[in-house]
């Protein structure tokens, strides 16, 4: 009988941190922002393209999925104890992104330039750097 080799499956908690602490939340939000806004680089340019723009090519449903994923970032911000003003700005970004995406096919173009999830990540990072400085990551 042949000796088979099993490849161990990675533990999901190693890929996506499941904790409620600020460091885990930061990693989850940064990963989600990367998925939505910077998954691919357009060849010949430095422009990033993510799932958010690709979802806008699916009329109606794609916009709802993109808005739901953007709202998840706001929900994580609420769990961090961010102010209602900050969360209102973040929901405003998600709302503008959703409204721009409602234009069939053409809505992907303004969504490519108005990166609501990157804007929301910037707001969350500012809060985390101020209130949870130990979670800051030095990029080099």
* Residue 10 neighbours by CB under 8 Å, 6+ apart: none
pLDDT digits (tens, 9 = 90+) for 118-137: 999 999 999 999 988 887 76
C-alpha to C-alpha distance for 90 and 63, rounded to whole angstroms: 17
C-alpha to C-alpha distance for 134 and 96, rounded to whole angstroms: 32
pLDDT of residue 82: 94
**Residue 14 CA from chain centroid, whole number:** 18
Nearest Cα neighbor of 95 from 122, 118, 63 is: 63
- Under a CB-based contact definition with an 8 Å cutoff, are residues 109 and 56 in contact? no
- pLDDT by position in tens, the chain (length 140): 566 677 766 665 566 677 788 888 899 999 999 999 998 898 999 899 999 988 888 887 888 999 999 999 999 999 999 999 999 999 999 999 999 888 877 888 888 889 999 999 999 999 999 988 887 766 65
pLDDT of residue 11: 62
SS3 state at 102: coil
C-alpha to C-alpha distance for 106 and 64, rounded to whole angstroms: 16
C-alpha to C-alpha distance for 45 and 112, rounded to whole angstroms: 14
């Amino acid at each position: 009988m042949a000796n088979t080799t099993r490849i161990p499956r990675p533990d999901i908690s190693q890929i996506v941190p499941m904790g409620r602490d600020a460091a885990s939340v930061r990693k989850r939000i940064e990963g989600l922002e990367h998925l939505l806004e910077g998954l691919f680089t357009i060849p010949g340019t430095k422009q990033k393209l993510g799932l958010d723009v690709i979802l806008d090519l699916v009329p109606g449903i794609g916009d709802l999925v993109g808005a739901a994923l953007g709202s998840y970032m706001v929900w994580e911000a609420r769990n961090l104890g961010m102010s209602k003003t900050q969360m209102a700005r973040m929901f405003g970004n998600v709302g503008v992104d959703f409204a721009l995406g409602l234009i069939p096919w053409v809505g992907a173009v303004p969504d490519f330039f108005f990166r609501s999830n990157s804007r929301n990540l910037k707001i969350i990072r500012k809060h985390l750097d101020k209130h949870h400085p130990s979670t800051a990551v030095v990029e080099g």
